[in-house]
Amino acid sequence: MTRPAPDITAILERVPGWSGRAHVVGTLDGGLTNRNVLVDVAGERFVVRIAGADTHLLGIDRHVERIANERAAALGFAAGVVAFVEPECYLVTRFEAGETLSSAQVAEPRRLGQIGAALRAFHDSGPLPGSFDCFRVPQQHRDAAVARGVRIPREYELAAERADEIEAAFDASPEPRRPCHNDLLAANFLGAGDRLVILDWEYAGMNDRYFDLGNLATNNGLDDDDEIALLERYFGSATPRRRARLGLMKIMSDFREAMWAVVQQGISTLTVDYVDYAGRNFDRLLAHASAPGYGRLLADAAEPE
C-alpha cells in the first residue's frame, strides 16, 4: 500500500520559530532516496529533507546523520543544521548556493585536494554512535530485499565471494574503524567559489576509511593518476598497500551500490530505474574483480602499514 505524501505545510509549522513564517519555494532535484524541499523564511533559505519510506533498511540512522552533518559543518564543509523534527527525523539545514560538481570537476586537482583534506579531517574527528560496515551491508540489503519479494540478481553470489576475499585481505592487517560519509557521488559535492560543500550525510557511520576513498574513486571515474593524487593528499604518499586497499574498496563500493538499488526496488516510491542502476554497478564490480591485477591487490592489501 502506498503511503500518503507528508503534509509539507504541517511539517514547516513544527520547525521551531517557523510557524506562520515559512513557505515552500520548490523541490530540489537529484535525490534518489528522499524528497528535499527548498523553503524561504523571512528571506533566508533552508532545505528540509523528507525521508523516504523504510530508509532504515538502507543502513540509514537519522540521528547519526544529524550528528555527522553537524560535525562536518563545524569542520567547514557541510551545510549548517538548524532543526531536527521528531519523531519523523526531518532534517533542516541551511541552503548552500553553489554548483553541483560533475565527476570531471571532482577529479580536478584543486577539488580533489580539497576533498582529500575534508575526508581526512572527518575521518580523524572521533567516533560516531553508529556503524556502516561495508562488509556486512550487502548481505543486510539482500535479506531486506528477499523479505520484500525482490529477486536477487544472479551476480550476487560471485560478488559475495569476492567480498569475502577482500575482507580476509583487510583482516590480515586491520585498521581501526573511522567515521565515514559512505556516499561520495558527484551529486553530493557543491562548489561555491573556492569553498567545497559535502552534502547528504545520511549513510554516515563507523567504517573502514578506505571505503570512502574507493567509493569516491569508483563513483567519479578517477583514473590511476587521480587515485595516486588523492592518496598523496590524504596520506602524504601512495604506497602499494594504500593503492591496493583503495582499489579493492572500489569493488566493495560497487557491491553496496548494487545491493542498495536492489532493496530500493522493494521500498522506494520514487520514479527511478533501480533495476538498471543495480545492473550497471554489478557490471562495474565484476569488471574490477576480474581484472588481471586483482590477485596482486589482495596480496598488497594484506601487507602491514
pLDDT at 3: 53
Compute the C-alpha angle 36/39/42, nearest 5°: 165
pLDDT at 33: 61
Give the CB-side neighbour count of residue 163, counting CA atoms within 13 A.
22
Sign of CA dihedral 233, 105, 274, 97: positive
pLDDT at 213: 98
pLDDT at 28: 79
Distance CA 132, CA 49 (A): 21
Compute the C-alpha angle 254/64/6, nearest 5°: 90
Fill in the amino acid letter for 204. Answer: A
Predicted confidence pLDDT, tens digits, the chain (305 residues): 445 567 888 999 999 999 889 888 888 765 556 788 999 999 999 999 887 656 677 768 999 999 999 999 999 999 999 999 999 899 999 999 999 999 999 999 999 999 999 999 999 999 999 999 999 999 999 999 999 999 999 999 999 999 999 999 999 999 999 999 999 999 999 998 899 999 999 999 999 999 999 999 999 999 999 999 999 999 999 999 999 999 999 999 999 999 999 999 998 877 789 999 999 999 999 999 999 999 999 999 999 99
Domains of the chain: 21-94 (3.30.200.20), 99-301 (3.90.1200.10)
pLDDT at 269: 73
Q: What are the phi and psi torsion angles at 176 (to 5°)?
A: -65, 150
157 closest CA partner among 139, 173, 169? 139
Distances in Å between the Cα of 67 and the Cα atoms of 95, 115, 160, 193, 236 are: 18, 20, 31, 26, 29
